[in-house]
């Protein structure tokens, strides 16, 4: 369904995010006929670049970062939407006329996408306001991480909020744009099967894993000041936890969903420093082999600098409410792990009576595979065929997205960018969500600092993180689910 005409301004238009995600996403939406011809997409940065040069730059970016090849005729039409304004938007004396003359007019919303460091979110918003562009239906899109702790997040939220109303601020967490993540809502609330069992009486524990095989590469500068906690846990993993743990919202209206997510974040038990040793693991990768290739350790990627930044974190978390009392949520994420896979495992309790013998007692497990090989598996117990004794096996009922839907998977940014144009805030975070998440994460980071929690190591590509992460579950008589 086509969206209405819009103007999109990308601050950081020549940056990494713009190249890898935003420009390819816009091209795909255009190629699918969703973006009207009279929309405008203006890249902005300090780089001196003509409109033509930006179009060539965008073409290269799309070619490099899309799986399908670019269709020449379609590109020729799409590139007419693109232009570029050279400007330092944080400079109070900057001349905004180049940008203004590239916009289409007042008959459409102007969307300002801040694909720049969060440190300059507030000055840029103030400058947009001072240039007279923040009025009417103007919207601003903020990338994560919003700040580096609760105080800096509050400062950003207040500064941006002084220019744009809350319902014109779109805080992106691209995990919420992933098809399989959105499917969590449908799986939980579109079926009668799960909800009656979705609580402490039937569920033993939940695991959330976001495992990456990539290292920090050329993002080491940013990453070293963030680490896995700020880069992944504070946002992506906590958002997944919210979707798994939240109460059914009254509707799929943005504020209904966001209110329920905030309640989960509110119920997250603060990690006290006396528990950080037992309930958390922080670690950093060393040199190793990934996909047969020798790769550097984290410190080598930093080129010799000392650092105790974690590239892996595992945590036992608790949601202190009626539904989840005494059900641990084990979260882990890391770079340079053995494989790239993200999944949520809902481990049900064993049947109350071991009718087929204690040694055969197994329990149901629901695996929601977010990426790659997106799908859902429900492990059920069945009888092993054969005339011998009665043997029980646990096997999956398997729903593979690729087999069920033979469609191109839109990237999360395609969905999210179009939602901004449509004015649909459901998949974006409200101010309190970001701040509640930081409050919990600040507690963890302070706990680590106070307890001087050691940074363990793991060999890149060898295992799914350090041995200590395995011990985190073993001490509770459990194991991480691993299907290969």
N-terminal to C-terminal alpha carbon distance within the chain: 40
Strands 40-45 and 7-11: parallel
28 among known catalytic residues:
no
Write out the two tokens for 404: 């069920």
Closer residue to ligand BG6 (CB): 212 or 301? 212
Does residue number 464 form part of the binding site for ligand BG6 (CB under 6 A)?
no
CA dist 199 and 205 (Å) reads 10
Rounded to the nearest 10°, the torsion over CA 384, 390, 394, 400 is: 30
Q: Where are the alpha helices (DSSP H) in 349-464?
A: 401-404, 412-422, 431-451
Q: What secondary structure letter does DSSP report for 422? A: H
Q: How far is the CB of 381 from ligand BG6 (least distance, A)?
A: 33
Looking at the Cβ atoms of 220 and 392, the one nearer to ligand BG6 is: 220
One DSSP character per residue, 115-150 reads -S-GGGHHHHHHHHHHTT-SSTT-EEEEPSP--SSH
Nearer to ligand BG6 by Cβ, of 178 and 205: the residue is 178
Instruction: For the CB of residue 149, give the shortest distance to ligand BG6 in the complex, in Å.
Output: 17
Residue pair 461/288 in contact by the 8 Å Cβ criterion = yes
CB 115 to ligand BG6: min, Å: 12
Closest CB to ligand BG6 belongs to which residue?
Answer: 231
d(CA 99, CA 51): 11
Size of the site for ligand BG6 (CB under 6 A): 2
Least distance CB 441 / ligand BG6 (angstroms): 15
Residue 414 lies near ligand BG6 (rule: CB under 6 A): no
Smallest separation, CB 209 to ligand BG6 (Å): 12
Distance CA 473, CA 482 (A): 13
**124 and 96 in contact (C-beta within 8 Å)?**
no
- Beta carbons within 8 Å of 43's beta carbon, 6+ residues apart: 10, 13, 14, 18, 49, 54, 58, 82, 83, 84, 85
Q: Which residue has the tokens 């307890």?
A: 451
Q: Is 296 annotated as a binding residue?
A: no
Q: In which residue are the tokens 């966001």 written?
A: 258
Is the CB of 416 or the CB of 472 nearer to ligand BG6?
416
Nearby residues of 405 by Cβ (< 8 Å), 6 or more positions away? none
Q: Which is nearer to ligand BG6, 234 or 364 (CB)?
A: 234
335 has binding-site annotation: yes
Q: How far is the CB of 216 from ligand BG6 (least distance, A)?
A: 8
The side-by-side arrangement of strands in the sheet containing 7-11 is 82-86, 40-45, 7-11, 110-114, 139-142, 169-171
Toward ligand BG6, which CB reaches closer, 209 or 347?
209
Does position 126 interact with ligand BG6 (CB under 6 A)? The reply is no
Tell me: is residue 212 an annotated ligand-binding position: yes
Helix orientation angle between 23-31 and 51-65, rounded to the nearest 10 degrees: 80
Q: Measured in whole angstroms, how far is the alpha carbon of residue 259 from the centre of its chain?
A: 19
Residue of 168, 205, 236, 341 marked catalytic: 236
- How would you class 307 by CB atoms within 10 Å of its CB: exposed for 0-12, middle for 13-18, buried for 19 or more? middle
Please state the closest distance from residue 227 (CB atom) to ligand BG6, in A. Answer: 10
| Cβ nearer to ligand BG6, comparing 226 with 451 | 226
231 is in an annotated binding site: yes
Q: How far is the CB of 212 from ligand BG6 (least distance, A)?
A: 5
349 is in an annotated binding site: no
**Nearest-angstrom CA–CA distance, 68 and 59:** 13
- Residue 88 among known ligand-binding residues: no
The annotation status of 456 as a binding-site residue, yes or no, is no
Nearer to ligand BG6, 126 or 310 (CB): 310
According to the binding rule CB under 6 A, does residue 231 interact with ligand BG6? yes
Instruction: Kindly state whether residue 212 participates in binding ligand BG6, applying the rule CB under 6 A.
Output: yes
Binding site, annotated residues: 46, 144, 174, 178, 212, 231, 335
For the annotated catalytic residues, the residue numbers are: 236
Binding site, annotated residues for NADP(+): 46, 144
Residues forming contacts to ligand BG6 in the complex (CB under 6 A) are 212, 231
């Amino acid at each position: 369904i086509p969206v209405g005409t819009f103007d999109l301004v990308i601050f950081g238009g020549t940056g990494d995010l713009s190249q890898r995600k935003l420009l390819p996403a816009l091209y795909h939406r255009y190629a699918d006929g969703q973006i009207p011809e009279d929309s405008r997409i203006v890249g902005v940065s300090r780089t001196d670049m003509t409109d033509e040069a930006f179009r060539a730059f965008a073409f290269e970016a799309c070619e490099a970062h899309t799986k399908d090849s670019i269709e020449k005729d379609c590109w020729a039409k799409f590139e007419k939407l693109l232009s570029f304004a050279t400007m330092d938007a944080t400079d109070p004396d900057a001349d905004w006329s180049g940008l203004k003359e590239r916009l289409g007019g007042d008959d459409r919303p102007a969307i300002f996408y801040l694909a720049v460091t969060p440190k300059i979110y507030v000055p840029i918003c103030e400058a947009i306001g001072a240039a007279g562009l923040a009025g009417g239906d103007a919207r601003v899109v903020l990338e994560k991480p919003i700040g580096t702790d609760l105080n800096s997040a509050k400062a950003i939220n207040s500064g941006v909020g002084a220019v744009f109303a809350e319902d014109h601020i779109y805080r992106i967490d691209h995990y919420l744009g992933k098809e399989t993540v959105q499917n969590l809502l449908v799986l939980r609330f579109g079926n009668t099967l799960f909800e009656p069992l979705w609580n402490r009486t039937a569920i033993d524990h939940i695991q959330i894993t976001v495992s990456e095989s990539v290292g920090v590469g050329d993002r080491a500068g940013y990453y070293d000041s963030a680490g896995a906690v700020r880069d992944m846990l504070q946002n992506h993993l906590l958002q997944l936890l919210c979707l798994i743990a939240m109460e059914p919202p009254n509707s799929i209206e943005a504020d209904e969903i966001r209110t329920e997510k905030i309640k989960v974040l509110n119920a997250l038990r603060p990690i006290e420093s006396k528990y950080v040793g037992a309930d958390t693991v922080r670690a950093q990768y060393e040199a190793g082999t990934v996909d047969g290739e020798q790769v550097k350790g984290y410190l080598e990627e930093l080129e010799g600098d000392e650092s105790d930044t974690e590239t892996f974190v595992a945590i036992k978390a608790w949601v202190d409410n009626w539904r989840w009392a005494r059900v641990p949520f084990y979260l882990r994420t890391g770079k340079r792990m053995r494989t790239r896979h993200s999944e949520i495992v809902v481990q049900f309790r064993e049947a109350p009576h071991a009718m087929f013998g204690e040694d055969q007692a197994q329990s149901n497990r629901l695996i929601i595979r977010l990426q790659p090989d997106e799908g859902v598996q429900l492990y059920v117990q069945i009888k092993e065929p054969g005339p011998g004794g009665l043997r029980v096996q646990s096997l999956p009922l398997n729903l593979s997205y690729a087999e069920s839907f033979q469609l191109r998977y839109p990237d999360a940014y395609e969905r999210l960018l179009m939602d901004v144009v449509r004015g649909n805030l459901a998949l974006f975070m409200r101010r309190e969500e970001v701040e509640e998440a930081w409050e919990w994460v600040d507690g963890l980071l302070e706990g680590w600092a106070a307890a001087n929690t050691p940074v363990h190591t793991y060999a890149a590509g060898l295992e799914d993180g350090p041995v200590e992460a395995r011990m985190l579950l073993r001490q509770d008589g459990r194991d991480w689910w691993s299907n290969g």
